[in-house]
Copies of this chain bind each other. A is one copy, B any other.
Amino acid sequence: METAAGESADRIEQLRARAARLREHSLRATSEAGSGHPTSCLSAADLVAALFFDVMRYDPADPGNPQADRFILSKGHAAPLLYAAWAEAGAFPVERLLTLRRIDSDLEGHPTPRFPAVLAATGSLGQGLSVGVGAAWSAKQLDRRDQRIYVLLGDGEVAEGSVWEAAAIAAHYRLDNLVAIVDVNGLGQSQRTMEGHDAARHAERFAAFGWHAMAIDGHDVSAVVRAFDAAAAVRDRPVAILARTNKGQGVSTLADRDNWHGKAVKKGAELDAALAELRTAAPSVRLAPVRARVRAHVAPAAVAKAVDGPQYRADEQVATREAYGTALAKLGSVNPLITVIDGDTKNSTFAERFLAAHPERYLEGFIAEQNMVGAAIGLSACGKVPFVSTFAAFLTRAFDQIRMAAVSRATIKLAGSHCGVSIGEDGPSQMGLEDLAMMRAIPHAAVLYPADAVATERLVEAMTQQPGIQYLRLARPKTPILYGANEQFAIGGSKVLRAHAQDRLTIVSAGVTLFEVLKAHDALAREGFHVRVIDAYSVKPIDAETLRAAARATHGRVLTVEDHYGDGGLGDAVLNALAAEPASVVKLAVDDIPRSGKPEELLRLFRLDAASIATAARAAAG
């Protein structure tokens, strides 16, 4: 145990004094900003004081040290408290706390990685525990490091299902280096929470989910340190500390009052009175300096090994999802940072090939997509290169986490299989038809949609070679091999597959429908009607230059074909590329809620088969 000293009077007085200062900083900073959530800081101040000035092993001079114990503020609206703790520990001058929420400050309204101690952006509630699962699994399973992860949640946010996804999985993997602290202040934004101040009821839930759970008084600093001491001794299960608190604790005009969520105390008399009350109650002790309790960080050596290229016969039929699994297994052998999470679909996404080759770096995510993406953010924050796979349709479940991954500047690789109506009989609930729209909306994300196994393998490799978020769209059906083993694919590229001096139209497609386009091309060519065909495997960034050149060469006539809903997909990407051109773009896409049926029947129903494409091409060429 780290804290063998017990709860000496001085230890407790030190923490009470620190807590008073954290409260003071939180009030001052929000009053200076004129907005923020001071009362949500005050409820958690004693808990955070104990963590930062007693429990956690870290180096105040190196807040990003990857070997330190990590703190995740899931209740992100208490950001001023987080900043106050780091400033008070000595990471930066406390005066800078007064820049809170300013456009030139790194102390944002909710935490983002602009502030270097922040593992992941928070503020969309209920996401921090999943980030903690990723970080705790990384420390325990991958880095095999004595490192503890502390996640502070609000009691309102445990209504979010993502918390219980994380809770179940943390217990399943026996993450005894993960400690969740719930600040049970009983008040949400607009009314009392469902459970009010009943910390014991929250504790029962965590216990039922397999956690070691303790309900305590979150303002009794002795009880708080005893709980953390006890947490350090628990083996084989994660620990939850359910701390009964009062929102606004320490200031009598705020404590446990309604209508004080997200409101700053007015500068002047109101603030002065609150600060005076805090100071009067604070013990007067000489504060002990905070010393580094973690080794200096050594960056791991870079890895650079060549991966085996794609190996397919020209006459083979291979689903892109299968090539994804093959690529992952190969890349895992040359890059030890690659980890894979799949949502009980590994036999459909072929992530099972990575599991077979590198079982120690595979995290079964079960049917809990939000937690998968949250955990991947945690893995990214720990320097890993996480891939997350499930059906494309089910990635929509994690859109909020994906959005927050972007705010977190995380490096995560998403793979969505079973896209489009071409999955067939399973029907619309299983068809990814809005995934391109969802992923295109994320700034700086790459959106990739390979048509064959060769392109898939090369693009998975390309995904591992750059930071940030990339999405790979994968299809269910087996399709022909289109490219030679040495063909190169770059994020942002495209392939002109057919071109003729008399091309009257450019057809842009990707994935499964590209094969229908090629069939349409051949049928039209037999009529003497020539069309250019482009494989836009990089939907974002799209290869605007190639598209513009093709549009100009084909009288400005362009047809797009995609197995995706009409709004937000490949067609819209092409429209953007040609926004400044006098081009005329016609889109073929899925224009209604689909149904069950055979893949080829459904492609025909939505006019995405070769015959329909040929008809549309003739019409589009005028």
The contact string, 1 if C-beta is below 8 Å from chain B, for chain A 580-622, is 1110111100111101111001100100000000000000000
Closest to A592 in B: B443
Complex-state Cα separation, A366 to B125, whole angstroms: 12
Question: Could you say how many copies of this chain the assembly holds?
Answer: 2
Q: Verify if A572 is at the interface (C-beta below 8 Å from B).
A: yes
| Nearest-Cβ distance from residue A415 to partner chain B, whole angstroms | 15
User: Is B105 in contact with A596, judged by CB distance below 8 angstroms?
Assistant: yes
Q: How many residues of A contact B (CB 8 A)?
A: 112
Q: Which residues does chain B contribute within 8 Å of A556, judged by CB atoms?
A: 582
Q: Verify if A477 is at the interface (C-beta below 8 Å from B).
A: no
| Nearest-Cβ distance from residue A616 to partner chain B, whole angstroms | 13
| Nearest-Cβ distance from residue A580 to partner chain B, whole angstroms | 5
The contact string, 1 if C-beta is below 8 Å from chain B, for chain A 387-400, is 00000011011011
Closest to A172 in B: B194
User: Is A441 in contact with B567, judged by CB distance below 8 angstroms?
Assistant: yes
User: Is A397 in contact with B399, judged by CB distance below 8 angstroms?
Assistant: yes
Q: Which residues does chain B contribute within 8 Å of A397, judged by CB atoms?
A: 124, 160, 399-400
Q: Verify if A575 is at the interface (C-beta below 8 Å from B).
A: yes
| Nearest-Cβ distance from residue A109 to partner chain B, whole angstroms | 4
A-B residue pairs in contact (CB < 8 Å), sample of 13: A108-B595, A110-B427, A123-B430, A160-B367, A160-B368, A161-B368, A190-B344, A190-B345, A397-B399, A407-B428, A407-B429, A576-B587, A580-B586
Known: A161-B164, A581-B584. 16 other contacts (CB 8 A): A35-B425, A110-B426, A122-B429, A159-B344, A159-B368, A189-B344, A189-B348, A191-B364, A193-B366, A205-B205, A437-B438, A437-B441, A443-B593, A444-B593, A567-B568, A579-B586
Instruction: Tell me the A residues contacting B by CB distance below 8 Å.
Output: 33, 35-36, 76, 101-103, 105, 108-110, 112, 114, 121-126, 156-157, 159-165, 168-169, 172, 188-191, 193-194, 201, 204-205, 207-209, 342, 344-348, 352, 364, 366-371, 393-394, 396-397, 399-400, 403-404, 406-407, 409, 425-430, 433-434, 437-438, 440-444, 540, 556, 565-568, 572-573, 575-576, 579-582, 584-587, 590-593, 595-598, 601-602, 605
